Chain A
Amino acid sequence: MEILKISLAFFKIGIVAFGGGWSVVGLIKQEIVPNWMSADAFSSLIAIAQSTPGPIALNAATLVGWQKAGFLGALAATFSVIAFPLLAMSITMAFSKYIPLKKDLADESLRSGSMAMIIMTLWTLLPQNTLPGPWIFALASFGVTAFTKVNGVWVILGAGAINMLLGVLP
């Protein structure tokens, strides 16, 4: 039953997973926290999903499934989250000749939707308190990744290493 619930949740996430990794992280969080997992556990899980190879949404699905129902849970979550995108692409390719969509308008609408999702994700991920530590880590990482060409992976690994040495975060 647990596996069926996981499949259903991730199939649903796959349907609205527009706009790349981070907006999908917000959707997954919406489904998972706090029913299945605490907010802190979810944050660490996302950090792992980001510092391992592969698309972050897929990795997050695999990890949540693994935590909840072992190997079969991981398998079910991973394939459920890509089921709808694959289906949508297959159907679109088969019928693309007959769809009278104005591509540029559809594209602009999708981009607005995807940006709104990223904003919502950011909102839910902001530190929940006014302790300076988490805000300093968040703002510093924003500065580095927004204004330099440094890969986000190094920022994640670096922040992990810094906190491992200094233990400044609770």
Chain B
Amino acid sequence: MKIPSKGKGPNKTIKKTEPTPLRIFLTLAQINTLTLGGGYVIVPVIGNSFQKQGWIDEEEFYRIFSRAQVFPGPVALSTSFLCSYRIAGVKGAIAAVLGVVLPPFIALILVGGFISLYGDSELFKRFLNGAGAVVPGLVGSMLWKTAKNRKWTARVFIEVGILAILLILFPSAAFFILIGGIVALYLGRLLWKS
């Protein structure tokens, strides 16, 4: 097994440990407490940590990650769930779910109390208004990054365009448009290969 070492620090040795449910929980809980940002920030951190403990190699981890993206739900959750199932079975998978879900949950309960205490302060409101104003920009950049990495055939363009227009026109039916749309696209691709 070859594990790529990334320059920094000469003594980055692999401390091989047994992947017990408790160790999986503690590893994921620590990462999810300390790492800000969305799934695509957290997933590589999880990968490094699992590799360093000798639980999984890089190729296998990213193979599972690409499969995890197919499932609904946060990709940090699905990747942790599928990887931990692979290395430690059902107990590992349960430990992974708790490790991903509990730390932010507890943090937010504390923040929630804080907000109801300070929600009326003028400075705090200003802070939240400023922070909220950049959200469309962040979604736009996410769209930009996904679009950049895709092969834009006429087919993809039409698929995305029609689905997006339907979703914007009939937002209350988003649920059915998305499920029906994905099934239709799959069947379309199966029947008419471009």
Contact = CB atoms under 8 A, between A and B. Distances in A.
Interface residues of B, number: 80
Interface of A: 12, 14-18, 20-22, 24-27, 30, 40, 43-44, 46-59, 62-63, 66-67, 71, 74-75, 78-79, 81-82, 84-86, 88-89, 92-93, 102, 105-127, 133-134, 137-146, 151-153, 155-157, 159-164, 167, 169-170
Contacts of B35: 53
B139 A22 contact: yes
SS class of chain A's interface: helix, strand, loop or mixed?
helix
Nearest to A70: B112
B37 A164 contact: no
Given A47-B128, A108-B189, A163-B126, A22 B70 contact: no
A53 B30 CA distance: 11
B107 interface: yes
Nearest to B147: A115
Interface string B141-161: 111111100100000100110
A92 to B, nearest CB: 8
Given A113-B182, A123-B168, A142 B137 contact: yes
Ranked 4 nearest A-B pairs via Cβ: A54-B104, A163-B130, A85-B73, A141-B137
